C-alpha cells in the first residue's frame, strides 16, 4: 500500500459531466492573495499575486479515454467507432471498453428475476422484484458519451411535487432559483433549440419561464416523420381521466451543434462574483468573439454541425453531440500569455483508479481524511496497487454516477463513541437516505405502421416531443410523462430492421418480393415513446453486500427495485393516449407486450412492458434538512464539512425531463459553495 502525501486543494472522483464541470469552473478561478478572494483568471491583472488551485481527479476507466491531445483522443475515439461497427447489438455501451476492473451495467445483462434468487448475470446484483432496466458507462467523460443529448428543463411544479400534488418530496430549490444556472448549463453544453416554439402545460407564461432568452444555436430541424405526425395531431386533444388534454408537439432542445444563433450574442464565460453571502456565478457576455459551436475534442472544425448520422445513442461519429470530454479539456488546457492553449500543470487526472471508500477524521469535525483507491495497470490484468490519498486539507467531491456514489459511501464505515458505546456509522448517511430513492423513467413504447411512407431511421434519434402530459392535476393520481417521437423505427422494441428481414425470409420472400416488403414496412414504421416519471421510494435502493464483489474485491451495487400502482396506472393512461393518437393518424398498431419481456407488469389485468431510459437518479438526494436528505441544495454533505456529493443522485424527484441538463445546472450552482469553502481554507 502506498500513501500519497502531496496535498491538493480539491479531489474529484469521476470525469463525467458533474466532475468535469466542477474541474473546469474551478480551474477558471484563482485565489487573489491580496484581496483574499477567488477571482476569474480573466480578471487577474498583471502583477496580481494569485494562487492557482491544485486539483486531482480520479477516473475508473482506461487511461486512453483521458488522453485529450489531438492525436491520442482521435485515435481512441476511432477505436470506439470500430468497436461499435463490429458489435451485433448496438446498445448504449456497445462502443466502449467492458472492463473487468471497472465494470458497467449493461442492458444486455438484464433478465427477469425469479425470487428469492437475484439476477447476478451483469455488474448489478438485482434482487428486484422487478429489474432495474438502465445502464451507465465508466469511461472518461462518463455516460455523456452515449446519451441522446435531449435537454429540456424541468417544470416549476416538478420542484414542489409534494406541496402541489401530495406526492414525493419537495426540492430545497425552486425553478426560479435554478433558472440562471440552466442558462449556464445550456451555454456549456451548447444547446440547439427554439424558445419561441416551446410550449408546456404550465401556469406560467413562456416569457416567465424563459425570460428574454434564446438558445445558443438554432433548433435541429424536425424530421419528415415529425412533420407528418404534427400535421395529423396539431389542434387536437386526447381524453384521459375525464379531461381533454390538448396535444402540444414541441421541437426538442438538444445538446448537439447546429448553426449558432446571432441573437445569442458573444461567447460567454461563467465567473464568480463575490457578495455578502459568499459567491454568485454569473454568465458574463462581455466576450469579444461571436458564439461558435464547439466541435470534436481532437479538431474544433470537425463536428461543428450535426450530420444526422442517427447513431446518437450510442455514439456520435463526429462529436457534434456534446460529451463531457469537451468540458474536461477546458480544465486541462488554458490559454497562456501568448494566446495559445497550454497544458494546465495544476490539475492532474489519474485514470484506471477505482475509488472505493472514504475515511473520517473523528477528531476534526468528522472531516473526510482519506480517499482509498485501487489502481490497475491494464485492462488485461486484474492485479492492483492499493493507494491512500490524504484529504485532511482538501475538499473531496464525489462526482460518479448514481450507482457508484452511494456504493462508495455505503462502503465507508467508521466507529464513534456515543454515551460510552461504540456505534458504527456510514459516511454522509445520518439520514439513512444514501442509496435510497433510486429512480428512472420507465419507457413504455408503442409502435405501428403509418398509412404512407414517413422515412424513419434518419437524423438524430428524436427531434420532437409531445409535452402535453408533463404536468397536470392528474399527477395526484398517476405519473406525468413526456413523449418523444423517435426516429428509430421499430429498432428498440423489435430489433428492426434485422427482425423484419428475418421474418420475411422465413415467409419465403426473396429478390424483388423481399425488397418490396422491406421498403413498404421500413418506410412506414412509427415509434411513440412514453417516458414515465417515477416517484422517490425509499425501498428502491442501492446497497452493498460482501458476498458480491468485483475482481478488485470492491462491492458491486445490489439493487432492490419495483414500481408502484402510481407508475403502473400512468402506463395504462399512456397506452390510452397512444391508442387515441394512433386512431387519429390511421396508424396500424403492432404494439405487443409479452410475459417473457424482461421488464413487464400487469395492471388492471392488462400487461405492460417498459425499458429503462438511462436516467439513473435519486440515491443521495438534496433536501432542506439533514434528517431526510444527504446533501444541502449546494450538494454539500450535511455530515462532513469537506465533502460534496454531486450528480444525478442529488435529484429529489425526477420530473419529466432528461436529467443531464438539470444535474449540470445544480452542479454549476454547487461551485459557489465550493469557492466559499476554498476562500476560507486559503485564508487560513
Cβ-contact 186, 215 below 8 angstroms: yes
Contact 120, 103 (CB under 8 A): no
CA quadruple 101, 105, 107, 109: dihedral sign: positive
- Are 451 and 587 within 8 A, CB to CB? yes
Looking at residue 152, what is its pLDDT? 98
For 395-446, the DSSP string reads EEEE-S-TTHHHHHHHT-EEEEEETTEEEEEETT-TTS-TT---B--EEEEE
How far out from the chain centre does Cα 339 lie? 34
- Which of 290, 287, 226, 285 minimizes the C-alpha distance to 259? 290
d(CA 573, CA 360): 49
Q: How many CA atoms lie within 13 A of 636 on its CB side?
A: 15
Q: Which residues pair with 272 in a beta bridge?
A: 281
Q: Which residues contact 116 (CB under 8 A, 6 or more apart)?
A: none
Q: Nearest 5°: CA angle at 379, between 375 and 384?
A: 25
- The phi-psi region of residue 43 (left if phi > 0; otherwise alpha if psi is between -120 and 50; otherwise beta) is alpha
d(CA 14, CA 404): 10
How many residues make up the chain in this entry?
684
Short-list 570, 603, 617, 571, CA closest to 476? 570
Q: State the pLDDT at residue 1.
A: 45
C-alpha cell at 197: 416554439
pLDDT at 48 (0 to 100):
78
Alpha carbons 281 and 264: distance in angstroms, whole number: 19
Q: How many CA atoms lie within 13 A of 650 on its CB side?
A: 31
d(Cα 488, Cα 499) in Å, to the nearest integer? 14
CA–CA distance, 496 with 517 (Å, rounded to integer): 13
CA gap 435, 634 in Å, rounded: 19
With beta carbons less than 8 A apart as the criterion, state whether 209 and 202 touch. yes
Contact 264, 216 (CB under 8 A): yes
Low-confidence ranges of the chain (pLDDT < 50): 1-4
Instruction: Report d(CA 608, CA 593) in Å as an integer.
Output: 6
d(CA 83, CA 85): 6
The Cα 82–Cα 88 span in angstroms is 12
Neighbours of 364 (CB within 10 A): 12
What are the start-end ranges of the H helices in 28-92?
A: 70-86
Gap between the Cα atoms of 20 and 140, Å rounded: 10
Q: What is the pLDDT of residues 512-553, one digit of tens each?
A: 999 999 999 999 999 999 999 999 999 999 999 999 999 999
- Residue 341 is predicted with a pLDDT of 84
The predicted structure's pLDDT at residue 2: 46
Decide if 662 contacts 651 (C-beta within 8 A).
yes
The whole-angstrom separation of Cα 352 and Cα 231 is 51
Secondary structure class of 96 (helix, strand, coil): coil
Q: Please check whether residue 131 is in contact with residue 108, taking contact to mean a CB–CB distance below 8 angstroms.
A: no
Q: Which three cell numbers stand for residue 490?
A: 421499430
412 CA to centre of own chain: 25
Amino acid at each position: 500500500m502506498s500513501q500519497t502525501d502531496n496535498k491538493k486543494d480539491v479531489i474529484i472522483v469521476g470525469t463525467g459531466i458533474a466532475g468535469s464541470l466542477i474541474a473546469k469552473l474551478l480551474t477558471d478561478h484563482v485565489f487573489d492573495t491580496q484581496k483574499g478572494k477567488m477571482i476569474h483568471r480573466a480578471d487577474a491583472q498583471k502583477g496580481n499575486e494569485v494562487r492557482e488551485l491544485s486539483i486531482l481527479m480520479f477516473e475508473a476507466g482506461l487511461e486512453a479515454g483521458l488522453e485529450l491531445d489531438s492525436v491520442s483522443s482521435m485515435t481512441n475515439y476511432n477505436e470506439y467507432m470500430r468497436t461499435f461497427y463490429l458489435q451485433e447489438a448496438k446498445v448504449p455501451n456497445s462502443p466502449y471498453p467492458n472492463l473487468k476492473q471497472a465494470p458497467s451495467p449493461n442492458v444486455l445483462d438484464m433478465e427477469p428475476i425469479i425470487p428469492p434468487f437475484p439476477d447476478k448475470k451483469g455488474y448489478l446484483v438485482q434482487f428486484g422484484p422487478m429489474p432495474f432496466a438502465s445502464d451507465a458507462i465508466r469511461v472518461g467523460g462518463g455516460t455523456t458519451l452515449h446519451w441522446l443529448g435531449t435537454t429540456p428543463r424541468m417544470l416549476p411544479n416538478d420542484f414542489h411535487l409534494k406541496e402541489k400534488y401530495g406526492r414525493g418530496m419537495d426540492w430545497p430549490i425552486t425553478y426560479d432559483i435554478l433558472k440562471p444556472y440552466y442558462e449556464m448549463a445550456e451555454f456549456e453544453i451548447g444547446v440547439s433549440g427554439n424558445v419561441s416554439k416551446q410550449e408546456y402545460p404550465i401556469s406560467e407564461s413562456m416569457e416567465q419561464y424563459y425570460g428574454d432568452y434564446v438558445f445558443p444555436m438554432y433548433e435541429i430541424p424536425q424530421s419528415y416523420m415529425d412533420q407528418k405526425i404534427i400535421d395529423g395531431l396539431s389542434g387536437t386533444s386526447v381524453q384521459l381521466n375525464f379531461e381533454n388534454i390538448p396535444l402540444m408537439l414541441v421541437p426538442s432542445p438538444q445538446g448537439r451543434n447546429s448553426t449558432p444563433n446571432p441573437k445569442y450574442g458573444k461567447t460567454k464565460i461563467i465567473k464568480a462574483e463575490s457578495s455578502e453571502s459568499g459567491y454568485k456565478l454569473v454568465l458574463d457576455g462581455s466576450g469579444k468573439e461571436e458564439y461558435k459551436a464547439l466541435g470534436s475534442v481532437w479538431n474544433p472544425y470537425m463536428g461543428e454541425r450535426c450530420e444526422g448520422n442517427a447513431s446518437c445513442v450510442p455514439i456520435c461519429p463526429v462529436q457534434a453531440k456534446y460529451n463531457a470530454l469537451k468540458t474536461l479539456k477546458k480544465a486541462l488546457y488554458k490559454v497562456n500569455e501568448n494566446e495559445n492553449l497550454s497544458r494546465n500543470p495544476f490539475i492532474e487526472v489519474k485514470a484506471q483508479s477505482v475509488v472505493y471508500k472514504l475515511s473520517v477524521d473523528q477528531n476534526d469535525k468528522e472531516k473526510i481524511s482519506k480517499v482509498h483507491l485501487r489502481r490497475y495497470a491494464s485492462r488485461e490484468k486484474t492485479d492492483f496497487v492499493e493507494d491512500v490519498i490524504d484529504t485532511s486539507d482538501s475538499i473531496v467531491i464525489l462526482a460518479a454516477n448514481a450507482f457508484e456514489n452511494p456504493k462508495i459511501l455505503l462502503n465507508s464505515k467508521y466507529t464513534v463513541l456515543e454515551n460510552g458505546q461504540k456505534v458504527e456509522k456510514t459516511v454522509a448517511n445520518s439520514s439513512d437516505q444514501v442509496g435510497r430513492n433510486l429512480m428512472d423513467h420507465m419507457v413504455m413504447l408503442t409502435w405501428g405502421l403509418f398509412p404512407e411512407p414517413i422515412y424513419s431511421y434518419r437524423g438524430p434519434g428524436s427531434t420532437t416531443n409531445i409535452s402535453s402530459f408533463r404536468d397536470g392535476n392528474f399527477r395526484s393520481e398517476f405519473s406525468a410523462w413526456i413523449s418523444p417521437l423517435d426516429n428509430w423505427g421499430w429498432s428498440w422494441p423489435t430489433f428492426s430492421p434485422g427482425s423484419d428481414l428475418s421474418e420475411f425470409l422465413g415467409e419465403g420472400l426473396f429478390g424483388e418480393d423481399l425488397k418490396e416488403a422491406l421498403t413498404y414496412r421500413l418506410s412506414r414504421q412509427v415509434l411513440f415513446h412514453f417516458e414515465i416519471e417515477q416517484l422517490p421510494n425509499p425501498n428502491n435502493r442501492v446497497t452493498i453486500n460482501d458476498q458480491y464483489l468485483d475482481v478488485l474485491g470492491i462491492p458491486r451495487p445490489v439493487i432492490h427495485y419495483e414500481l408502484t400502482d402510481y407508475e403502473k396506472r400512468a402506463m395504462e393512461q399512456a397506452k390510452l393516449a397512444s391508442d387515441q393518437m394512433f386512431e387519429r393518424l390511421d396508424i396500424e398498431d403492432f404494439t405487443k407486450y409479452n410475459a417473457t419481456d424482461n421488464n413487464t407488469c400487469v395492471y388492471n389485468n392488462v400487461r405492460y412492458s417498459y425499458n429503462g431510459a438511462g436516467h439513473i437518479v435519486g440515491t443521495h438526494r438534496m433536501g432542506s434538512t439533514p434528517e431526510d436528505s444527504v446533501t444541502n441544495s449546494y450538494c454539500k454533505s450535511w455530515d462532513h464539512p469537506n465533502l460534496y456529493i454531486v450528480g444525478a443522485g442529488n435529484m429529489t424527484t425526477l420530473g419529466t425531463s432528461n436529467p443531464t441538463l438539470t444535474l449540470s445546472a445544480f452542479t454549476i450552482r454547487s461551485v459557489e459553495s465550493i469557492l466559499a469553502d476554498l476562500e476560507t481554507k486559503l485564508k487560513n
